[in-house]
Amino acid sequence: MILVFVDHDRGVLDATSVQALTAARALDSDVEVLLVGSAGRDAVAELATYGADTIHLAVHDTLTDYAPLASAKAALELVSSRSPRGIFTTGTPRGNEVLAHIAAILDAPMAAEVLSVTFGDAGVHEVVRNRWGGNLTETARVHNDLLLAAFAPHAIRAENATGAGNVTEFTPNLDAADTAVRVIDRTGGAATGVGLAEARVIVSGGRGVGGPEGFDVIEELADLLSGAVGCSRVVTSNGWRPHSEQVGQTGTKVAPDLYIACGISGATQHIAGCRTSKTIIAINTDKDAPIMGYAHYAVIGDAQTILPELVAATRAAKE
Amino acid sequence: MNIAVCAKRVPLSGGRWELTADNLDIDTSGAAVGFTTSPHEECAAEAAVQLVEQLGGSSTVITLGVADSEEQIRSLLAVGVDRGVIIETDGSEWDPQATASALTEQIKAGSPEGAYDLVLLGTEAADTADFQVGIRMAHALGWPVVTNVKGMTIDGGVARCERAVGSSREVYEVTLPAVITVKDGLNIPRYPSVPGRIKARKKPVDTVTVEKPAARLEKVRLDLAVEEARSAEILGTGVDAVPALVEIFKNIGVL
């Protein structure tokens, strides 16, 4: 059996975290899911549409919001009672940290950024994982009976399947230290506009946009395409845009249907964040820029002159 | 407050990586490859310098890596970190468990000013992306840990940490001593000044050695990512290409 930790935020299923469930189901007919916190009940129906048959719901008075260590402790109780051969997560911030807590407590190895898994005999398994944000892959042996694997986000597309969605509640044995680190507040309020990670279209700007004012037209185009604004690292380092908009290895990794890179040369650190986009369009003055090796389509020219025309033409096409 | 920053030296390339003949490492012999501090950890060092400016105390950067890691340590000393420690390796990679364990021993040993109150490091290293060293250290130290931190204030021995989730931020609080793993975007690291660089030359950098344990996450080989050999279809030059772009928007269903 493979145990999958699936994440939810106050009852809203994390669509990325479900990718690990698809990965597990491809390897084993016996997969069980862990949801932590009573609000997880609200995520059960949707989770079942990804083929979840058996869902363990950890409920405890102190589990009022996400708490990483408590989530790991809940998983460890299932390790004892259900004896899985692997625990899978998707490598979201929560998926990585819950798995790392499990690994630390068990003093067991853990593989992050995993692309594929081959279970072996005698406590040695093989994984292929991303390095350098996917610019390299590593084949590695994991020396432990229980395989702890966090899958690289978007390495696997979540697949729908009909699951029974049977829920078993249990109360993990937790003490105060297990929930000492937990979400105590949220700032920034609800998202306005489309978030970068879930946007279907991202219009992204780099140095070639010229300055912070160059993003006005990028915002306009993003609005017209119901998309989000992204940018490169140099843009945030220059203080032109907030870091929350940075696409790249150290920013947000995205996989939209359309990624438009305006005035972005395509450093490896940036490509690592957008390489899995379905379609990439580059607008760049340099026909030999690295981005041309990743883009599907390109326009050679100055983004600052092309974008206003593109906004006008896009607006006209919508009317 | 005594702060330890665990920082890693990583290769830096302007182009695509090339591998050594045995496929076990990145070929760093070429002129196009340099080295830098893993980006999240530049921010960790900047945060440590700011906290010491604010609250007093000391900052120490600790690196597990080759002797040449001194180059990255000196650049962090140049922006204001007080001293460095290199846990010297022969250049072969240490797995995350071994790394965490060697770093933890240094934290337990403390700084000349006394015990550490805070350990800052990147949420993951740019090269290995293991996402676990800080958490393992916290467990070994019996300290709380917050990861993925992009905003941090410390007041009265309590660290208030924020991390980005979509477009909002989650808030966590931990009582020190604690481990906090940070992300690029926590701050904008300052550039070293000339006087900073001169001072850095005189700051102490100690070297220690530790026996390397057997890897439990054992690297077998590296491969260059399989790229769909792609060369962008050029739609045109300048504004003349705008109609073709709008056609593509329609064809892929975003308009």
Residue keyed to tokens 């690289």:
A152
Q: Write the residue in A191, A201, A292 that is nearest to B166 by C-beta.
A: A191
Q: Which is nearest to A146 in space by CA: A3, A303, A315, A293?
A: A3
For the cut 60, the answer to whether the pLDDT of residue A192 exceeds it is no
| Interchain pair B250, A317: CB under 8 A | yes
Interface check for B12 against chain A (CB to CB < 8 A): the answer is no
Return the structure tokens found at B202. Answer: 């005189």
Residue numbers in A near B173 (CB within 8 A): 184
E strands present in chain B: 2-6, 9-13, 33-37, 58-65, 83-88, 118-122, 145-149, 151-155, 158-165, 168-175, 178-182, 205-208, 217-224, 233-237
**Do the beta carbons of residue A28 and residue A82 sit within 8 Å?**
no
| Interchain pair A197, B163: CB under 8 A | no
Q: Which is nearest to B152 in space by CA: B165, B169, B134?
A: B169
Work out the pLDDT band at B15, boundaries 50, 70, 90: low
- Quote the ipTM score: 0.92
Q: Which is nearest to B15 in space by CA: B1, B3, B26?
A: B26
A142: β partners:
A125, B217
| Interchain pair B218, A189: CB under 8 A | no
Q: Write the residue in A103, A246, A278 that is nearest to B185 by C-beta.
A: A246
Q: Write the residue in B171, B232, B249 that is nearest to A225 by C-beta.
A: B249
Section B222-250 average pLDDT: 89
Q: pTM for the whole thing? A: 0.86
Q: Write the residue in A99, A132, A188 that is nearest to B168 by C-beta.
A: A188
Return the structure tokens found at A273. Answer: 């964040």
Work out the pLDDT band at B167, boundaries 50, 70, 90: low
Query: B230 or B224: which carries more pLDDT confidence?
Result: B224
| Interchain pair A112, B129: CB under 8 A | yes
**Do the beta carbons of residue A137 and residue A128 sit within 8 Å?**
yes
Q: Write the residue in A236, A281, A300 that is nearest to B185 by C-beta.
A: A236
pLDDT digits (tens, 9 = 90+) for A165-189: 999 999 999 999 999 999 999 987 5
| Interchain pair A109, B217: CB under 8 A | yes
Residue numbers in B near A225 (CB within 8 A): 249, 254-255
Q: Give dist(CA B50, CA B45) in Å, integer.
A: 9
Residue numbers in A near B168 (CB within 8 A): 186-191
Smallest CA–CA distance, residue A7 to chain B, in Å, is 13
Interface check for B34 against chain A (CB to CB < 8 A): the answer is no
Q: Give dist(CA A314, CA A160) in Å, integer.
A: 34
| Interchain pair A246, B184: CB under 8 A | yes
Tell me how many degrees the CA angle B65-B67-B72 measures, rounded to the nearest 5. Answer: 70
Residue numbers in A near B237 (CB within 8 A): 299-301
pLDDT of residue A196: 84
pLDDT of residue B14: 63
Q: Write the residue in B145, B225, B230 that is nearest to A296 by C-beta.
A: B230
pLDDT of residue A190: 45
The residues in B 109-168 lying below 8 A from A, measured between CB atoms, are 123-124, 126-132, 135-136, 138-140, 144-148, 150, 162-168
pLDDT digits (tens, 9 = 90+) for A265-312: 998 889 989 988 999 999 999 999 999 999 999 999 999 999 999 999
Q: Write the residue in A188, A195, A292 that is nearest to B169 by C-beta.
A: A188
| Interchain pair A299, B235: CB under 8 A | yes
Q: Give dist(CA A152, CA B22) in Å, integer.
A: 26
Residue numbers in A near B95 (CB within 8 A): 109
| Interchain pair B248, A297: CB under 8 A | yes
pLDDT of residue A191: 44
Residue numbers in B near A134 (CB within 8 A): 225
pLDDT digits (tens, 9 = 90+) for B49-59: 999 999 999 99
| Interchain pair A135, B16: CB under 8 A | yes
Work out the pLDDT band at B227, boundaries 50, 70, 90: low
The 10 Å Cβ neighbour count of residue B19 is 15
Per-residue b or e along B73-82, where b marks 16 or more CB atoms closer than 10 Å to that residue's CB: bbbbbbbbbb
E strands present in B14-101: 33-37, 58-65, 83-88
The 10 Å Cβ neighbour count of residue B210 is 16
Q: Is B205 helix (H, G, I), strand (E, B) or coil?
A: strand
A292: β partners:
none
Residue numbers in B near A286 (CB within 8 A): none
Q: Write the residue in B16, B136, B239 that is nearest to A305 by C-beta.
A: B239
| Interchain pair B172, A200: CB under 8 A | no
pLDDT digits (tens, 9 = 90+) for A58-114: 999 999 999 999 999 999 999 999 999 999 999 999 999 999 999 999 999 999 999
Section B106-113 average pLDDT: 97
| Interchain pair A225, B164: CB under 8 A | no
